[in-house]
Structure 1
Amino acid sequence: MKRVFVYEYLSGGGVLDGDEEAIDELMPMGLSMRDALTGDLLQVADCATTVATCSRAPLPTGRAAAVVPESGELPLDFVARQADRHDFTWVVAPETDGLLEALCRIVDPARWIGCDATAIHLTTGKRATLMRLAEHGVATPLAFAHAPQVDRWVVKPDDGAGALATRVHDSQDGAWDDWALRSRQGVPMTMEPWIAGEPLSLSLLCSPGRAEVLSVNRQHIRVDGEGLVSFEGVEPNVVPPDDPRMRTMQALASQVARHLPGLRGFVGVDFVWHAHCGPVLIEVNPRVTCAYVGLSASLGRNLAADILQAHAAPSHGHA
């Protein structure tokens, strides 16, 4: 019997520097991922599932056991303690401030389900990720920096979660001012051309150097009159396998897996399908994303079971 500990950061008692607005925005997404992942694990015959929760989150449904942090216990200490009591630990947490990487590093690599610390470290930095992949021929917004047709620019936290604190500007000068102001406040920011097109994402099942495209998902992104960007949900599995764009998307997935060593398990790749240039990669999420919710049912396969099975393959660990 495999004992799996599921820890979704916010519903497991974590906080985001006291930012209640961020918690309010991200908690529903966190709960939906927690419950989708738990639901899949509960269908695995030889798996006993334990789920982290807290006073502000509802208990998980089904047969999963629930655990809460001890009074005053820090998230890293809580996860380390539970990891020692379980065969596997599956964490869903933001990369912000190195959180996901820190959680990864305190768990025995043999017990950690997901990307290794090296891959998490690189993909935590949005600009560093784009630069690495651009070096290997992947189209990114960096390629549009001097394009005359670019008339909008986006400024966002370099290690941000979701669309938090992301703003689109109608001029490069306005974007530079925003970038400078927020950078002076001590927040690492990145600035890049705003790519017009269809916002999509890939859900990947990664193993060393390889990536299976599980689904192509449509992202709902809204930009208000002040330029503030908000994420309003995702529709999983919206592009059929016979779509002529699928070959290009699979090639993108293969490039990402080849040039970002350490990606493992479920990985999300956000991109925009540009009318003339095809897929332009925006960021890589080294963890379960919102697109996981409902995906097992849509595909007719238990993704958690597949990922647990893939974890048994050799060649993984923290670097």
Structure 2
Amino acid sequence: MTRVLVFEYLTGGGLIDGDTDGAAGDELMPMGRAMRDALVADLLRIDGCSVSVAACERAPLAAGSARAVQACAGESVFDFVARQAAQHDLAWIVAPETGGLLAQFHGCVGADRWLGCDRAAIELASSKGATLRRLHDAGLPTPLGITPGAQPTRWVVKPDDGAGCVATRVHASHAAAQQDARSRAEGPTTIEPWVEGEPLSISVLCSNAGAELLSVNRQRIGMSSDGQLTFNGVDVNVIPPTSERGAALSALASRVARAVPGLHGFVGIDLVWHPTRGPVVIELNPRVTCAYVGLSAALGRNLAADVVRAHTREWSDALV
């Protein structure tokens, strides 16, 4: 019997910094719960797999779905995850990279039990600026590759270790973007050219065998009158991987995996399809994303089983 722990940060009892009234948690909790429940449903379909799930009072499990576990009174989420991981064979952690959270959880769990990217890849992806520099240096198309002869008309400011569209704003000039960045006290920010085009993401299964494009997804991004971006959801598997654009994105996924060793399991890559340049990589998500929800059913395969199988095989090979 393989014992698997599932911990999704919000539904497992984590808090968002500065969310004193719970508003941000209320907004993000449904997404966290959907990801958690999709993972659990897939894991429960694996023969010989028992599943324990961190479930706080605000996000209880459906009756009979899996064994719920909770932190003890006064126990931090990190101590809780470390304690539970020690009682399981594998741990699947879904948490934001913000503030080094995902990397810290990796340290609590340990590489042998961790289902996902290694710590070096997580730490790189936790900095949007460092990620783009790595990919740009590897020859991949990024906003940093916009040439002097094609100056951007707009610029975007975002937290360097932020998640999604949180605190992300578009400006009509570089000077305005710089002023915005200087006014922020929350932590390091990054300024990059705004890339016009269709916002997409790709879901990729990474292993020592390479990077497999699972789906191409359309991201619904809104922009208010003051340039603030909002994430309004994702339409999964909207472009066939076998199409012309799908083939280009499959090649892109392989290049990203070569540029960032240590990507393992389910990985998301956000990009914009520019009208003339084609796909431009915006950021890298070294973890399960919202696009996981419903994807196993759409593809007719159990993605969780694929991730577990690849980890088990690769860890066994490493011990030989």
**TM-score, normalised on structure 2?**
0.95
Give the match's secondary structure for 1:66.
strand
Which residue does the alignment assign to 2:79?
77
Matched, 1:223 2:223: yes
Which residue does the alignment assign to 1:238?
238
Shift of 1:240: 1.3
Shift of 1:24: 2.5
Q: Distance in 2 between matches of 1:62 and 1:145?
A: 57
Give the match's secondary structure for 2:281.
strand
1:117–1:209 Cα change, 3 Å: farther
Which residue does the alignment assign to 2:251?
251
Residue type of the alignment partner of 1:53: A
Q: Which runs of 5+ in 2 are unaligned?
A: none
Residue type of the alignment partner of 1:265: G
Q: Distance in 2 between matches of 1:178 and 1:164?
A: 15
Which residue does the alignment assign to 1:47?
49
Which residue does the alignment assign to 2:179?
177
Q: Distance in 2 between matches of 1:25 and 1:151?
A: 32
Matched, 1:58 2:68: no
Shift of 1:60: 4.0
Q: Distance in 2 between matches of 1:11 and 1:287?
A: 16
Shift of 1:146: 3.8
* Range moving further from structure 2, 148-157 or 272-281: 148-157
Matched, 1:202 2:202: yes
Shift of 1:279: 0.5
Q: Distance in 1 between matches of 2:295 and 2:150?
A: 39
Instruction: Tell me the matched-pair count.
Output: 315
Which residue does the alignment assign to 1:18?
18
CA distances 1:25-52 after superposition (whole Å, capped 9, x unpaired):
3211111100111111111121111110
Q: Distance in 2 between matches of 1:226 and 1:58?
A: 38
Q: Could you tell me whether the CA contact under 8 Å between 1:270 and 1:284 is conserved in 2? A: yes
Residue type of the alignment partner of 1:252: L
Q: Could you tell me whether the CA contact under 8 Å between 1:7 and 1:51 is conserved in 2? A: yes
Which residue does the alignment assign to 1:276?
276
Question: 4+ residue stretches of structure 1 with deviation over 4 A?
Answer: none
Matched, 1:5 2:5: yes
Residue type of the alignment partner of 1:207: S
Match of 1:150 among 137, 149, 152: 152
1:268–1:142 Cα change, 3 Å: same
* Range moving further from structure 2, 241-250 or 97-106: 241-250
* Range moving further from structure 2, 50-59 or 289-298: 50-59
Q: Distance in 1 between matches of 2:186 and 2:232?
A: 28
Q: Could you tell me whether the CA contact under 8 Å between 1:208 and 1:261 is conserved in 2? A: no
Q: Distance in 2 between matches of 1:241 and 1:250?
A: 7
Give the match's secondary structure for 1:24.
helix
Match of 1:94 among 96, 111, 116: 96
Which residue does the alignment assign to 1:35?
37
Which residue does the alignment assign to 2:135?
133
Q: Distance in 2 between matches of 1:79 and 1:112?
A: 12
Give the match's secondary structure for 1:204.
strand
CA distances 1:266-300 after superposition (whole Å, capped 9, x unpaired):
00000000010010000000000000000000000
Q: Could you tell me whether the CA contact under 8 Å between 1:145 and 1:192 is conserved in 2? A: no
Q: Could you tell me whether the CA contact under 8 Å between 2:208 and 2:314 is conserved in 1? A: no
Q: Distance in 2 between matches of 1:209 and 1:196?
A: 34
Shift of 1:186: 4.5
1:209–1:300 Cα change, 3 Å: closer
Residue type of the alignment partner of 1:245: R
Residue type of the alignment partner of 2:161: D
* Range moving further from structure 2, 9-18 or 130-139: 9-18
Q: Could you tell me whether the CA contact under 8 Å between 2:214 and 2:241 is conserved in 1? A: no
Q: Could you tell me whether the CA contact under 8 Å between 1:209 and 1:258 is conserved in 2? A: no
Q: Could you tell me whether the CA contact under 8 Å between 1:83 and 1:107 is conserved in 2? A: yes
Q: Could you tell me whether the CA contact under 8 Å between 1:126 and 1:283 is conserved in 2? A: yes
Which residue does the alignment assign to 1:286?
286
Q: Distance in 1 between matches of 2:5 and 2:207?
A: 21
1:271–1:147 Cα change, 3 Å: farther
Amino-acid identity (%): 57
